[in-house]
Structure 1
Amino acid sequence: MTWIQPVNPLRNLTLSALVAMLPVLVIFWALIIKKTKGYKASLMACGAAFIIATTVYGMPVKLAALSVSNGAIYGFFPICWIVISAVFLFNLTVKSGKFEIIKHSMASITADRRLQAMLIAFSFGAFLEGTAGFGAPVAITAAMLVGLEFDPMYATGLCLVANTVPVAFGSVGIPIAVASQVSGLSEMQISQMIGRTLPLLSFITPLYLVMLMSGFKKSMEVLPAILVSGGSFAILQFVTSNFVGPALPDIIAGIGSIICLVTFLKFWKPATIWRFANERSPLSIVRDRYTLNQVVTAWSPFLFLTVVILTWGLPSVKEFLNVHGQLQFAFPGLNNTIADAKGIPIPHIFKFNYLSAAGTAVLLAGLVAVPVVGLTYRQALTVFGDTMNQLKFPIITIMSVLSFAYILNDSGMTTTIALLLANTGPLFPFFAPILGWLGVFITGSDTASNALFAKLQYVTATNIQVAPVVTVAANCSGGVVGKMISPQSIAVAAAAGGLIGKESSLFRFTIKHSFILLFFICLLVLAQAYLFKWIIPSPPANKINGVTLNSGLPGYVWLILTATIIVVFISLIKIGTNKTRTES
């Protein structure tokens, strides 16, 4: 028997939408007003959603329970799996003592906290978002900044704010691929439209980050570096998204902005070194304190991470790994037992892609790095156990957040809210990014938000005679600023930044900035729809959707090449180590 979602259970769309919003408001109330711990707030919201789904929406209790279970399982894998692996990799560098060398090498580039935040939270985080996504960028960059003795609240908050502009092109362009599949527009056209919106946000994000840290006056002291960081990122993001495709903008812009800023800092330094007010004495930099080989060894876990994640992002590698390491099954009792308002059954297929998952790639990088950083695998096992203990409450939070998202979607509550926004008529382009923002807030994923709302965005835009690519792209662009306040993202950042139990403080840190940036994007999309129509890209003349990361080589060939690169790299480190010992 199939249960059909009622999108207007109270026979008044506005009233139905207000009731559907209650579970979302519970999250805001618990985190902002009651200052509740993250795992308690997410459990409360999930409970509220369960009650409304089964009473107001008439969802059978069995289906509601199965939906909650499905969300919890997905929350653990692949989301928690990424967080566990990322924090484990970071903890390995701390346990081995190599992070002290990383701190020294970073400070040798610049001891200024403003510039370090741009390099790690903004540029390196964007690269990680482009390759892995799904929580890994925030987990790794927040842990790195805290390890560099940043104030934990600022470190995690900055990483959440920075992890906005790359999200639309995250994980090798998957969000855009989903938006294309659901809406029927080409990937290249959506990529071009987003690439004519987000670069403006990319350009100002480094300035925004620095102003959050040090205020306007102090940010002006490093304005040349800010312009280099934001300008290089925005230009590379624009060029890649408009002329190459959706797979590479984050990767190219992230690496390119790091190279540009590091090169610039060789010729320019700020007049004063800025640090946090209550910070301990600055790390003393001794020239040639560490050899090049020692620095490379210390950074090796993150270098391995970069190589492995980049390989795991290749479509041919994903396909190869899924063939040899994926269990896929219909979720019992839930698959095709719920239908949308049009009567179309909703599939619930769980994919346990234990080899191709981003978390597995991060874990593999950590395991390869264990002997390189001077640890035994017995010690690494202890570190892994400590990591699991460290993350026990964030794991509960993430699993309950995904349960909350699943029951909102399966009951039809999310669709109810979306339909109310779609009824705003000619003003809909202004509200289109809010729909994407809401989708990412609920699900924690721009990909999931596009899967939910891309078709609605397309149909509504067509009805009001606005170019559909404007609103479909707005769903992606608006979603990126919802990422920083998504309960899932908050839980990941709190876990990595050592702020477990302080999720409410982190939420209050980011929410204002999310609304400010969302309003900016809403105005921009409204202008694109009616005033600056010349900026809208034309549909491509052919079916080509841009360049992907697939060179045509089989997946196993890429894996062999990656393994070879890592082996050669490790051999060079060992040769350098032996040479240093011989000379000393």
Structure 2
Amino acid sequence: MAFILSVFPIILLIYLMVKRNALPSYVALPWIAALVLSIQLFYFGTDISTISANIAAAIVDVQTPITVIFGAILFNRFSEISGVTDVLRKWLGNINPNPVAQLMIIGWAFAFMIEGASGFGTPAAIAAPILVGLGFNPIKVAILALIMNSVPVSFGAVGTPTWFGFGPLQLAEDQILQIGAITAFIHSIAALIIPVLALRVLVSWNDIRKNLLFIYISIFACVIPYFLLAQVNYEFPSLVGGAIGLLASIFVANRNIGLEKVENNLDKNAVTKGQVIKALFPTGMLIAILIVTRIHQLGLKQLMNDATTWFSTQLGSLGQFEISYGLIFSLKEIFGTNVSASYKLLYVPALIPFVITVLIAIPIFALSANKVKDIFSGSFKQSKNPFFALVGALIMVKLMLVGGDHSMVKIIGQNFAQATGEYWTFFSSYLGAVGSFFSGSNTVSNLTFGSVQLSTAETTGLSVSLILALQSVGGAMGNMVCINNIVAVNSVLNIANKEGEIIKTTIVPMIIYGIIAALCAIFLVPLFFTL
């Protein structure tokens, strides 16, 4: 019964969002959160203080994804209103008007690099509007962006899902490195198929066949350095692989290598070099700030994450409110429990780099006061529905994690593992995907299910490194269907009530990804790695 009640809210959520006349996420998710609350209260007997504390924590935690979404929307509205998007669209069309080239350069290589620097759903939020600006269908672009943004995710945000996601397991440094190496190997094999499936959403098989050489040049340009670097480092594979892949893809597309010639109806003189440089300035500054604030050796990352208490006060029974020197706002011991929540104002990619970039760029582009007002007011309005969706999602997640080893999440994981035994290799990645589906994060999925995967591997005699690598791969492929990412990209593209339609499409390549991962784990990984 515990398993049935634990898995029922997830099944119901999926049904509500994919059925005919599906409910939008900002309606479905709060209702499912209320259902989970009722199950915790009446079946699991969770005390009201713990439930209230987790709801309060969810409201604090929601500031992270919603401010990232707001920042991305703000940046994209600025790009539209300032004319940046129009200039970039014309410039990219003049690099090569072939739609396959545009999709691979922006949707694959560019997003690959941004994932390596930031994560948090930022790649789709930045890349998707550029593609829509080039004339592609918004819903199909959202689907493509979600499918493409899977291979680099395990090393996104400078490797956070790998080194932080498995941190609580107290693994040796060399084992974390081996997990990263196996993860990159599996992703690299999947990359031979997944980007092609993503392209098929927007172009025909015939178009793919005619441009196949360029597609694989772009894929290999990202994946080869990504895989090689992952053998010795688990922080920079996606960032470095994406940067090399982006430069190589632009170079090859500019020379029309491996691409079908397409009639170019754009005016070659539509934009000058000066206009292009100016239009690229906000994006370049955005990427530069992301990289500088994420590279550990430069020291800014440590300053932005400095948790040393600067100010502290008791907010009655609500809890202890603290501000750190790194401007981390924390609420601790909420309602007398051990539940805490925090918001990293400087480190979360919202104020820095999105808002700061826009504020710097506004005077450079000499925008009027009315346009500035339109940028900010429109961004706040566009963020409203995602806020309610994410509050519902995070309350659901928080309550499903209540209970430690007896939580609803752990009950689901343990039942899956027990049912499969030594055949767990076939299903391991899908548990990671479930974690990403309801948490919206490869990192959270690894934190949540890492211990279940470790325990299952040890119990069944399977390789711990292999199973944890499959968990990480699963958390990455789950990005295709995770509610947070879908809400984020839909919000940026101003798509309403299409979450269910998107999930029905992206779940197919996600399932295929899991099959590829299992086959790699069984037949290929043992040939190249000592387990």
Tell me the TM-score normalized by structure 1. 0.82
Is the 8 Å Cα contact of residues 436 and 449 (structure 1) preserved in structure 2? yes
Aligned residue for 2:160? 174
SS of 1:351 mapped into structure 2: strand
1:261 paired to 2:261: no
Structure 1 residues 365-387: Cα deviation after superposition (integer angstroms, max 9, x where no partner): 22221122232566424311111
Supply the distance in 1 between the matched residues of 2:365 and 2:230 (Cα, whole angstroms): 38
Q: Secondary structure at the match of 2:331?
A: strand
CA contact (8 A) 1:200 1:234 kept: no
Describe how 1:538-557 pairs up with structure 2 within 5 A.
none
* Correspondence 1:193-232 to 2 at 5 A: 193-232=182-221
Are 1:128 and 2:114 matched, yes or no? yes
Q: Which residue of 1 aligns with 2:30?
A: 43
Quick one: distance in 2 between partners of 1:302 and 1:107? Answer: 17
How many Å separate the matches in 2 of 1:390 and 1:117?
Answer: 26
Distance (whole Å) between structure 2 residues aligned to residue 266 and residue 215 of structure 1: 22
- Does residue 367 of structure 1 match 2:359? yes
1:11 corresponding residue in structure 2: none
Counterpart position of 1:431: 427
Q: Which residue of 2 aligns with 1:561?
A: none
Between the aligned partners of 1:23 and 1:526, the Cα distance in structure 2 is: 33
The Cα of 1:318 is off from its aligned counterpart by 2.0
CA deviation map 1:373-418 (0-9, x unaligned): 2325664243111111122111211221111111111251001001
Instruction: Identify the match of residue 44 of structure 2 among 57, 64, 80.
Output: 57
Give the secondary structure class of the aligned counterpart of 1:358: coil
- Residue in structure 2 matched with residue 157 of structure 1 by the alignment: 143
**In the alignment, structure 1 residue 301 sits paired with structure 2 residue 282:** yes
The reply on whether 1:330 has 2:322 as its aligned counterpart is: no
CA shift at 1:216, angstroms?
2.0
Does the CA-based 8 Å contact 1:127-1:253 persist in structure 2? yes
Where does residue 71 of structure 1 map in the other structure?
Answer: 58
Return the alpha-carbon distance in structure 1 between the equivalents of residues 94 and 242 of structure 2.
Answer: 21
The one-letter code sitting in structure 1 at the alignment partner of 2:381 is N
Aligned partner of residue 286 in structure 1, secondary structure:
coil
Does the CA-based 8 Å contact 1:202-1:233 persist in structure 2? no
Q: Which residue of 2 aligns with 1:541?
A: none
Q: Is residue 318 of structure 1 aligned with residue 301 of structure 2?
A: yes
The structural deviation recorded for 1:214 is 2.0
| 2:146–2:479 contact (8 Å) kept in structure 1 | yes
User: Residue 347 of structure 2 corresponds to which residue in structure 1?
Assistant: 356
Report if aligned partners of 1:20, 1:414 keep a CA contact under 8 Å in 2.
yes
Q: Quick one: distance in 2 between partners of 1:27 and 1:125?
A: 29
CA distance in structure 2 between the partners assigned to 1:62 and 1:377 by the alignment: 47
Q: CA deviation at 1:19?
A: 1.9
Contact residue 129 and residue 250 of structure 1 kept, 8 A: yes
CA distance in 2, matches of 1:414, 1:30: 20
1:211–1:426 CA distance, 2 compared to 1 (3 A): same
2:125: which partner in 1? 139
For 2:385, the equivalent position in structure 1 comes to 393
Residue deviations 1:275-299 (CA, integer Å, cap 9, x gap): xxxxxxx8x4222332211111112
- Inter-partner Cα distance in structure 2 for 1:425 and 1:446: 24
RMSD: 1.9
Residues 1:113 and 2:110 aligned together: no
Question: Alignment partner for residue 411 of structure 2, among 412, 416, 433?
Answer: 416
Q: CA deviation at 1:238?
A: 0.6
Contact between 1:93 and 1:373, CA under 8 Å: does it hold in 2? no
Counterpart in the other structure of 1:471: 467
- CA gap 1:334/1:176 in 2 versus in 1, 3 angstroms: farther
Aligned position for 1:492: 488
1:182 Cα deviation from its structure 2 partner:
2.2
* Per-residue deviation, 1:272: 4.6
Match of 1:285 in 2: 266
Between stretches 519-528 and 134-143, larger displacement belongs to 519-528
2:334 is paired with a residue whose SS is coil
> Counterpart of 1:33?
19
Q: Alignment partner of 1:88: what SS?
A: helix
Which AA in structure 1 matches 2:203? S
Contact residue 109 and residue 262 of structure 1 kept, 8 A: yes
Q: Distance in 1 between matches of 2:519 and 2:438?
A: 23
Give the CA deviation at 1:477.
0.3
Amino acid at match of 1:300: F
Out of 122, 134, 145, which is 1:148 matched to? Answer: 134
1:50 and 1:405, CA in 2 relative to 1: closer, same or farther beyond 3 A?
Answer: same
Q: Specify whether residues 494 and 137 from structure 1 end up closer, same or farther in structure 2 by C-alpha distance, changes over 3 A only.
A: same
Code of the residue aligned with 2:209 in structure 1: it is: M
- How far off its partner does 1:169 sit? 0.5
Q: List structure 1 segments (4+ residues) > 4 angstroms apart after TM superposition.
A: none
CA contact (8 A) 1:26 1:44 kept: no
Measured in 1, the distance between the counterparts of 2:395 and 2:523 equals 37
What's the TM-score once normalised by structure 2's chain length? 0.90
Moved more, 389-398 or 412-421: 389-398
Q: Which runs of 5+ in 1 are unaligned?
A: 1-14, 275-281, 337-347, 539-584
Once residues 210 and 336 of structure 2 are traced to their aligned partners in structure 1, the CA distance between those partners, rounded to angstroms, is 57
Aligned counterpart for 2:234 among listed residues 243, 246, 258:
246
Q: Is the 8 A contact 1:205 1:230 kept in 2?
A: no
Shift of 1:241: 0.6
Q: Do residues 518 (structure 1) and 514 (structure 2) align?
A: yes
Gaps of 5+ in 2: 306-324
The CA distance in 2 between the partners of 1:204 and 1:299, in whole Å, is: 31
Deviation at 1:537, TM superposition (A): 4.9
Aligned pair in 2 of structure 1 residues 487, 393: CA closer, same or farther (>3 Å)? same
Letter in 2 for 1:312: T
The alpha-carbon deviation at position 28 of structure 1 amounts to 0.8
Residue 83 of structure 1: CA displacement? 0.8
Choose which of 532, 535, 538 in structure 1 pairs with 2:528: 535
Does the aligned pair in 1 maintain the 2:328–2:343 contact within 8 Å? yes
Letter of the 2:340 counterpart: I
Picking from 170, 173, 181, the partner of 1:184 is 170
- The residue type equivalent to 1:83 in the other structure is I
Q: Is the 8 A contact 1:328 1:349 kept in 2?
A: yes
Percent of residue pairs bearing the same amino acid type: 20
Give the corresponding residue for 1:555.
none
Distance across 1 between alignment mates of 2:168 and 2:424: 19
Structure 2 CA distance, aligned partners of 1:491 and 1:19? Answer: 26
SS at match of 2:192: helix
| Rounded Cα–Cα distance in structure 1 between residues aligned with 2:114 and 2:333 | 31
2: CA distance between counterparts of 1:331 and 1:229? 49
Contact (CA 8 Å) 2:147, 2:195: kept in 1 or not? no
- Does structure 1 retain, via aligned residues, the 8 Å contact 2:60–2:343? no
Aligned equivalents of 2:113, 2:27: Cα separation in 1: 33
For 1:466, what is the secondary structure of its paired residue?
coil
Contact 2:66 2:383 (C-alpha < 8 Å) held by counterparts: no
What is the alpha-carbon distance in structure 1 between the residues aligned to residue 336 and residue 156 of structure 2? 29
Mapped partners of 1:378, 1:310: distance in 2 = 32
Task: For 1:290 and 1:184, locate their aligned partners in 2 and report how far apart those are by CA, in whole Å.
Answer: 54
